[in-house]
Structure 1
């Protein structure tokens, strides 16, 4: 597989999709020397800001940390070991935080769903602008809550690595094999349970 093939890896979809959707994938190989383009990072966060939410509650917050900062090192220290192997090479790490309780103390039932939409918008905008992203769930949420002094009801849900695509050969063997393996998904008929 050439580096060009590795970089595009467009999905084989059953119907045509927007290029940013079909071409988006989640690499683990990031260029450890490349800084994040600040305009592109801001655009990704702006896309998240404008995503839909229940009753326009916007129950999302983001901790944005660039490689080389103390905040970045704190996030890496709270990653599960398998994510620590590669995520430190990303140009930035973004902790997605759900505000699960409103100002009156009521539960925001859809907060994590809305946060997920915001992160999806962020990743698509980043990909459109030539960045790559990889979302992670393997981390110590309580460790991040304490480190960043998040208040009650603010729950870290995911972490997104953002950066410039790197060389898959920099990854250890099991991760390198996953990096270049063919992309697969369940068939559309397997995920749509009713289509009346």
Structure 2
């Protein structure tokens, strides 16, 4: 069964949303032949650049590595668990870094929140452009920080796989089963503490 960006993966929302949000999901099966152009990468990073941030400090940094590069291999090798089983077919891996302190050591307490917004903007832009993303938290951050010589005060928060959706049958079990399982979310009344 080949999955595409349309069809059964659309979110069943309780309110009308824009198409990139309805269509967005996090595949693990990527097309191992699809590539990102320089323009593709620039557009994704430009979307991240225009995310809001506290005091407009923009405390985010990114390492972008396309499949086949030495940097891609370094990032892939630092992934943990099942992430290594599927992420090698993504067109690119993006390391998402929060600048927790400036170069003088002054704290930036909202850095992780701001980075999250930047990555969300990147994700929605990717979906709009016919790409898919998958966020990962399973990685060896210390290994990556050393490999890329990150200064003190920079923290790797997540890694984003980006590419075109591939064939779910290429995944090992149980990932294949998870790839085609129905999408679900908690109901809003479980998420909202109070509404006036």
CA offsets per residue over residues 56-94 of structure 1, 9 Å max, x none? 000000000000000000000100021000001000000
Instruction: Report the 3-state secondary structure (helix = DSSP H, G, I; strand = E; otherwise coil) of the residue aligned with 1:169.
Output: helix
2:158 alignment partner, SS class: strand
Deviation at residue 39 of structure 1 after TM alignment: 1.8
Which position in structure 2 is the counterpart of 1:150?
150
Q: Give me the whole-angstrom Cα distance separating, in 2, the residues matched to 1:141 and 1:5.
A: 31
The answer for the alignment partner of 1:70 in structure 2 is: 70
Q: Report the counterpart of residue 141 of structure 1 in structure 2.
A: 141
Aligned to 2:129: 129
In the superposition, relative to structure 1, how do residues 2 and 61 fare at CA in structure 2: closer, same or farther (>3 Å)? closer
Would the aligned equivalents of 1:8 and 1:23 in 2 still touch at CA under 8 Å? no
CA distance in 2, matches of 1:124, 1:117: 11
Aligned pair count? 196
Residue equivalent to 2:87: 87
C-alpha distance in 1 between matches for 2:87 and 2:118: 21
For 2:183 and 2:110, the matched residues in 1 are separated by 30
Please give the secondary structure, in 1, of the residue aligned with 2:145: helix
Does the residue aligned with 1:84 lie in a helix, a strand or coil?
A: helix
Residues 36 and 164 in structure 1, CA contact (< 8 A), matched pair in contact too: no
Q: Do 2:2 and 2:169's aligned partners in 1 also have CA atoms closer than 8 Å?
A: no
CA RMSD, aligned part only? 1.4
Contact 2:65–2:71 at 8 Å: present in 1 too?
Answer: yes
Deviation at residue 126 of structure 1 after TM alignment: 0.5
- The reply on whether 1:61 has 2:61 as its aligned counterpart is yes
Segments of 5+ residues of structure 2 without an aligned counterpart are none
Q: Shift in Å at residue 6 of structure 1?
A: 6.2
- TM-score, normalisation: structure 2: 0.96
Cα deviation, residue 22, structure 1:
1.0
Q: Distance in 2 between matches of 1:163 and 1:129?
A: 10
User: What TM-score do you get using the length of structure 1 for normalisation?
Assistant: 0.96
Query: What residue number does 2:162 align with?
Result: 162
Structure 1 segments, 4+ long, off by >4 Å, are 4-8
- Partners of 2:75 and 2:129 in 1: how far apart? 25
